[in-house]
A and B are shown apart, each in its own frame.
Chain A
């Protein structure tokens, strides 16, 4: 008995504590949920003294950059004319970790953080990136390389600032062995003649994509705001077959090796396909013999194709803020940290290739052979925009190309790849219309009505049967939001009953008469159009 009392008392203490704690949170519900639309006076430009003040922020960047970033922020404090003083705690958080941590808990994350572009889509989905205003978007588009801007854009809106553009691969080679670095066949022949290895890790999806891009295929996966895939994958095609044959030719050579690592130059390699991270290794081993070039052309059936590559970018993101002034300050700082001078500084300190167009043209960058190769390769590079599950599908392709050059088998492998892509795609079946007449069933795809379409506008033609309650709404598969129902219908309001929220708590679209209807939704603003077609 006493034990229970003690336990109960302790629970009481906990409750009191919870009471204290949650008192603070009750204040959060008192903000008005409307989007404020104050008339635009000076569009885009912030007045000087509005932003003045001292701000304490947390900045996350890679270990190499901690000192540099601290200095840059100090420089910002001195140089800015708005009276902004930033007190920054710069913490050493690697790019991958920053992304994961922001996704796990946005609130506890850094106000400014650096991340790699492959996490971009996930960060936007998790609400961890603050959208750029008009002026900031202009800053990004005018100053940076097109690929970098694309990497920071989703659905036409920019959510981050590009910082570097150098994560791609190209060819390091031994000048004394390789006579013609522009033709893959000649390179293979040279290596075989000199009995040296050709190291190109085509077993890895990241590298093998070069063959496919060279042949003209693409694999571009983007998610729109609602989380469904917009996929453009053309690997399963004749061009894809050409790429497979090219890979098979490469991998059948006895001098082919799959270790894409510049240390292999020590082990009897003459060619290593690798990236900027290996430049110092390659330089130290080969010295003057080192040659760097963009990837060569490969030949299949007499035609030449230039090998493409994936390109990775590093971006700087701003945590979403609820205070517009602080947001403005952070964006200003972010722009300062990613403008031409800052990027050149980074290049000078750590050899990070800039994404800023002017910086790329600067002498310092052009004179570095590695970065010149990067710039050359960048012409044919493609932003990496594939989901996690894609890599294994790709690896299976190269495993098959290694085994055989038989056309039928290669085609079979491409088809298997395509099936895998379809599977990956369909896991997010997008928007559905669920109605009372199908049991509100949105768990089984076959029983639901899928809205399809290109780009932002999706539509569906649907037969509404006669029943007591002809109500339904548009949802994402598995969710049950309340913002794609009656309130969103802009055209065709006369076709549905106008019910008050008390009667229609779930915001359903309740049709007046049975019949065939066409339902269209614009996914950018969630506006729904209804038409009766039968």
Chain B
């Protein structure tokens, strides 16, 4: 498609400009995707190259190093101690000792059981003397998986530390050769509050994230390849084992027994995207609009309006949303009001579905989400609007621009430019917006075609509420929940990356105006 220069662009008519922008957008998508994939390929290639370099480095260090270095290959930290860096050396040594002890005592056992995830499950035993049925428990698949994975992490950490040890030896040798002094323990400690202060600061947060976020996520990804569920809970009932890609087959299968999952999944995915789109953009534009209204000169009691609106954020959602959902119940307040006014004779079931569609609950959910979401957006928009230089507006007014023109040419582009990334995170956040849907409708009205085996999904269910239902529902199919979680992640990741890469190109277009 033809690319216009700046001058030519400005000369185009309004309609033409619009078409050009749309065309540019669509052309940018393949470019964005191509860059994305090239990026991945490049990253992978770099990764392998660096691994190769590491191996080469290890080999050469061994060959070229002195006896202290060579010994350090076996006894970590020896080189450091021998060269006077006691603190570092002791730390390395301690780590190696702990690792070896761990592997002997427990690590090897967990690793060996990892492929099978336990062989002996619980058995029922009848004690005839006491006339009782008792259960004898065997292996614990869950623990095997958990500690097996942790052991793998430990091994990786060990290998890395060992590598660091080697490299330190090499560098120390070079430093000694060049005659400079080595850093002592005291130097190290001092650097913790200076050069390496960032490490000190990051240590605690990163540990927390590592243990409480990364590890569970990796574990759950692995669960997607097992059949861990309430029934196969790995200990009390049945053991669980690896099933490979079976779960993905079940979810995405078009035919056969898995059909229910895939049909439900498709429907829920499309509703999730629609919901996220509407929720984000209605809140965004309406919030901006409200902020502009309050911001206008001549409006009094600005703080009061803002405070009232912000009340929605202050009050915990589980109270306000629960109450609102009861307000619109079939026998609730709104119906009572409407029937008292004589507008309706029989109560409207706001949260129910008719034979034709579940449109009403979906619309209700979006509308009530506006009620919740506008205050946030209003706050943000207020702050930004206050930052827009007023002379832009002045000059526009002198040129005779009407209110609408001012909005679309000055305010809107500015806001979009600044809050573009925020819109993206808001979109993905709404895709995972559990509270609003769960509290308002609980995912109802139930989709008759989605049976309880597939989590009793409903017409207002998002992927994430569906995930929750599967986790706490019939059979507690955790493996299915994991699979869905992974797919949610993939969808969100793709959208984020594509849009993120597109943003700069859109931004450039804005600068024309």
Cα distance, A42 to B130, chains bound together (Å): 8
Cα distance, A9 to B232, chains bound together (Å): 35
Query: B163-202 toward A: CB 8 Å interface, digit per residue (1/0)?
Result: 0100010000000000000000000100110001001001
9-residue interface stretch from A349-357, A370-378, A389-397, A487-495: A389-397
Check if A23 is an interface residue, CB within 8 A of chain B.
yes
Check if B319 is an interface residue, CB within 8 A of chain A.
no
Report B-chain residues with C-beta under 8 Å of the C-beta of A128. Answer: 236
Q: Is the CB of A324 within 8 A of B130?
A: yes
Cα distance, A13 to B255, chains bound together (Å): 49
Q: Is the CB of A8 within 8 A of B243?
A: no
**Interface of chain A residues 17 through 42 with chain B (CB within 8 A):** 18-19, 22-23, 25-26, 28-29, 31-42
Check if A94 is an interface residue, CB within 8 A of chain B.
no
Cα distance, A198 to B431, chains bound together (Å): 44
Check if B147 is an interface residue, CB within 8 A of chain A.
yes
Q: Is the CB of A2 within 8 A of B199?
A: yes
Q: Is the CB of B138 within 8 A of A321?
A: no
Q: Is the CB of B138 within 8 A of A328?
A: no
Cα distance, A478 to B161, chains bound together (Å): 42
Cα distance, A40 to B127, chains bound together (Å): 9
Q: Is the CB of A6 within 8 A of B135?
A: no
Report A-chain residues with C-beta under 8 Å of the C-beta of B196. Answer: 2-3
Cα distance, A388 to B452, chains bound together (Å): 6
Report A-chain residues with C-beta under 8 Å of the C-beta of B164. Answer: 1, 4-5
9-residue interface stretch from A175-183, A270-278, A338-346, A423-431: A423-431
Contact-size category for A:
35 or more
Q: Is the CB of B227 within 8 A of A31?
A: no
Check if A11 is an interface residue, CB within 8 A of chain B.
yes
Q: Is the CB of A325 within 8 A of B448?
A: no
Q: Is the CB of B237 within 8 A of A106?
A: yes
Report B-chain residues with C-beta under 8 Å of the C-beta of A130. Answer: 133-135
Contact of A443 among B128, B168, B232, B253 (CB under 8 A): B253
Contact of A5 among B120, B161, B238 (CB under 8 A): B161
Report B-chain residues with C-beta under 8 Å of the C-beta of A331. Answer: 132
Contact of B446 among A135, A392, A427, A444 (CB under 8 A): A392
Contact of B157 among A7, A18, A19, A399 (CB under 8 A): A7
Q: Is the CB of B257 within 8 A of A104?
A: no
B96 to chain A, nearest CB (A): 10
9-residue interface stretch from A68-76, A119-127, A143-151, A526-534: A119-127
Q: Could you say which of A3, A100, A391, A429 has the most chain B C-beta atoms within 10 Å of its C-beta?
A: A3
Check if A468 is an interface residue, CB within 8 A of chain B.
no
On whether A424 and B150 interact (CB within 8 A), knowing A3-B202, A9-B95, the answer reads: no
Contact of A7 among B98, B206, B249, B476 (CB under 8 A): B206
Contact of B257 among A41, A122, A426 (CB under 8 A): A426
Q: Is the CB of B157 within 8 A of A37?
A: no
CB nearest neighbor in B for A39: B128
9-residue interface stretch from A43-51, A210-218, A233-241, A359-367: A43-51
9-residue interface stretch from B101-109, B287-295, B400-408: B101-109
CB nearest neighbor in A for B450: A389
Report A-chain residues with C-beta under 8 Å of the C-beta of B450. Answer: 389
Check if A369 is an interface residue, CB within 8 A of chain B.
no
Cα distance, A5 to B210, chains bound together (Å): 14
Report B-chain residues with C-beta under 8 Å of the C-beta of A325. Answer: 130
On whether A443 and B127 interact (CB within 8 A), knowing A10-B207, A122-B474, A389-B452, the answer reads: no
Check if A405 is an interface residue, CB within 8 A of chain B.
no
Cα distance, A294 to B135, chains bound together (Å): 44
Check if A107 is an interface residue, CB within 8 A of chain B.
yes
Q: Is the CB of A429 within 8 A of B257?
A: yes
Check if A83 is an interface residue, CB within 8 A of chain B.
no
**Interface of chain A residues 60 through 116 with chain B (CB within 8 A):** 100, 103-104, 106-107
A468 to chain B, nearest CB (A): 23
Cα distance, A54 to B417, chains bound together (Å): 71
Q: Is the CB of B188 within 8 A of A2?
A: yes
Check if A409 is an interface residue, CB within 8 A of chain B.
no
Q: Is the CB of B246 within 8 A of A19?
A: no
Q: Is the CB of B127 within 8 A of A28?
A: no
Query: B106-150 toward A: CB 8 Å interface, digit per residue (1/0)?
Result: 110110000000011011111111111111111110010001001
Q: Is the CB of B131 within 8 A of A136?
A: yes
On whether A12 and B127 interact (CB within 8 A), knowing A104-B230, A426-B257, the answer reads: no
A-B contacts counted at CB < 8 A amount to: 251
Q: Is the CB of A33 within 8 A of B140?
A: no
Report A-chain residues with C-beta under 8 Å of the C-beta of B243. Answer: 478, 480
Q: Is the CB of A36 within 8 A of B127?
A: yes
Contact of B452 among A36, A41, A131, A387 (CB under 8 A): A387
Check if A230 is an interface residue, CB within 8 A of chain B.
no
Cα distance, A122 to B199, chains bound together (Å): 50
Query: A470-506 toward B: CB 8 Å interface, digit per residue (1/0)?
Result: 0000000111111000000000000000000000000
Check if B456 is an interface residue, CB within 8 A of chain A.
yes
Report A-chain residues with C-beta under 8 Å of the C-beta of B140. Answer: 25, 28
Report A-chain residues with C-beta under 8 Å of the C-beta of B447. Answer: 392
Check if B376 is an interface residue, CB within 8 A of chain A.
no
B332 to chain A, nearest CB (A): 13
CB nearest neighbor in A for B105: A19
CB nearest neighbor in B for A103: B230
Check if B56 is an interface residue, CB within 8 A of chain A.
no
CB nearest neighbor in B for A40: B128
Cα distance, A46 to B140, chains bound together (Å): 32
Check if B99 is an interface residue, CB within 8 A of chain A.
yes
Report A-chain residues with C-beta under 8 Å of the C-beta of B472. Answer: 100, 104
Q: Is the CB of A321 within 8 A of B199?
A: no
Contact of A29 among B139, B258, B451 (CB under 8 A): B139
B226 to chain A, nearest CB (A): 11
Q: Is the CB of B95 within 8 A of A135?
A: no
Check if B36 is an interface residue, CB within 8 A of chain A.
no
Q: Is the CB of A18 within 8 A of B129?
A: no
Check if B71 is an interface residue, CB within 8 A of chain A.
no
CB nearest neighbor in B for A446: B256
Q: Is the CB of B260 within 8 A of A321?
A: no
Report B-chain residues with C-beta under 8 Å of the C-beta of A39. Answer: 128
Q: Is the CB of B260 within 8 A of A423?
A: yes
CB nearest neighbor in B for A16: B98
CB nearest neighbor in A for B101: A19
B275 to chain A, nearest CB (A): 22
Check if A445 is an interface residue, CB within 8 A of chain B.
yes
Cα distance, A14 to B146, chains bound together (Å): 13
B93 to chain A, nearest CB (A): 12
On whether A478 and B102 interact (CB within 8 A), knowing A4-B164, A392-B448, the answer reads: no
Q: List 28 A-B contacts (CB under 8 A).
A: A5-B91, A7-B157, A15-B154, A18-B150, A22-B106, A22-B110, A26-B106, A28-B139, A29-B139, A31-B138, A33-B136, A33-B138, A36-B125, A39-B128, A100-B472, A104-B472, A107-B235, A122-B474, A127-B122, A127-B236, A130-B135, A133-B133, A320-B135, A423-B260, A427-B260, A427-B451, A443-B253, A477-B257
Seed contacts A33-B138, A35-B123, A35-B126; 9 additional CB < 8 Å A-B pairs? A1-B168, A25-B140, A40-B129, A106-B237, A320-B135, A323-B134, A327-B134, A331-B132, A479-B227
A residues at B contact (CB < 8 Å): 1-12, 14-16, 18-19, 22-23, 25-26, 28-29, 31-46, 50, 100, 103-104, 106-107, 122, 125-128, 130-136, 227, 259, 320-325, 327-328, 331, 387-389, 391-393, 396, 399, 420, 423-424, 426-429, 443-446, 477-482
A-B pairs, top 6 by smallest CB distance, nearest first, are: A388-B452, A127-B237, A133-B131, A389-B451, A324-B127, A40-B128
